[in-house]
Amino acid sequence: MQAIEWQGASKRYGERVALEPLALAIPTGTCWGLLGPNGAGKTTALRLALGFARPTSGRVALQGLPPSDARSRVGLGFLPERLALPAHAAVEDWLGLHARLIGLERAEAAGAIRAALERTGVADRAHEPIGGLSKGLRQRVGFAIALLGAPSLLVLDEPTSGLDPLGVRDARGWIEAERARGATIILCSHQLSEVERSCDHAAILDRGRIAAEGPLSTLIGPGESLEDVFVRRVAR
């Protein structure tokens, strides 16, 4: 089964084309980088896949189901680029809400929350209001939410945003561990070195179209880096 499949999915906002008809399938158990310059259509593609927006044409399947079907989001962990967390809520309470939303039983939720907080290095801030945390710590809380309950599909949009070098190293380890566990991972990032390190496939979008797509082993030529491929394939 495909984890996510865009079947000729496009998106227009009035006269503006945000995404040309996109045909792309991400098989379960793979780790994909979704790349492109600002305005290339990456976030639009993710919004369509996760049901935050509807395609103007074509279809999208999330874990084999329409994104409008709540069952399609079972086992989904998501870290958005623009992380909106309530300032007044305590860290542990906010994770508790998410634990209920993904269907964890009370006893199971307590252990899952504790494990996620410890893993992401914010266990000592569990009872603090989120609004008092630094940007880097809030990003760690976002990671804790995304990793809660051992998701089978993990969608990460600019996951290292706001993290210091230690946080970036930690995030790399979390992604590698999820990949080793067998989770499907979609990593949308401008940090091409991190994508090259973590992913085995990539799709490069440019002006709403796919500029390149496939295994990194075939996209990247001898003596090249993913950055070289990106620069060569993206129109300037």
Mind listing the pLDDT tens digit for each residue in 137-180? 999 999 999 999 999 999 999 999 889 999 999 999 999 999 99
For CA atoms 46, 52, 53, 57, give the dihedral sign: positive
Residue 34 CA to residue 36 CA, distance in Å, equals: 7
Return the pLDDT at 190. Answer: 87
Return the pLDDT at 235. Answer: 65
pLDDT exceeding 90 applies to what percent of the chain? 86
Across the chain, where does the E strand assignment appear? 2-13, 16-27, 31-35, 57-62, 76-79, 153-157, 184-188, 201-206, 209-215
Tell me which residue range forms the domain holding 103.
83-151
Tokens of 177: 């561990």
Residue 109 CA to residue 128 CA, distance in Å, equals: 19
216 and 129 part of one domain: no
3 and 37 part of one domain: yes
Bridge partners of 13, per DSSP, are 16
Closest CA to 145 of 93, 181, 69, 68: 93
- Count the domains in the chain: 2
Residue 50 CA to residue 4 CA, distance in Å, equals: 9
Return the pLDDT at 1. Answer: 82
**Residue at which a domain ends, from 106, 135, 151:** 151
220 and 197 part of one domain: yes
pLDDT beneath 70: ranges in the chain:
235-236
Return the pLDDT at 123. Answer: 96
58 and 172 part of one domain: yes
32 — phi, psi (to 5°)?
Answer: -115, 140
161 and 235 part of one domain: yes
**Residue at which a domain ends, from 91, 124, 151:** 151
**Residue at which a domain ends, from 128, 151, 174:** 151
55 — phi, psi (to 5°)?
Answer: -65, 145
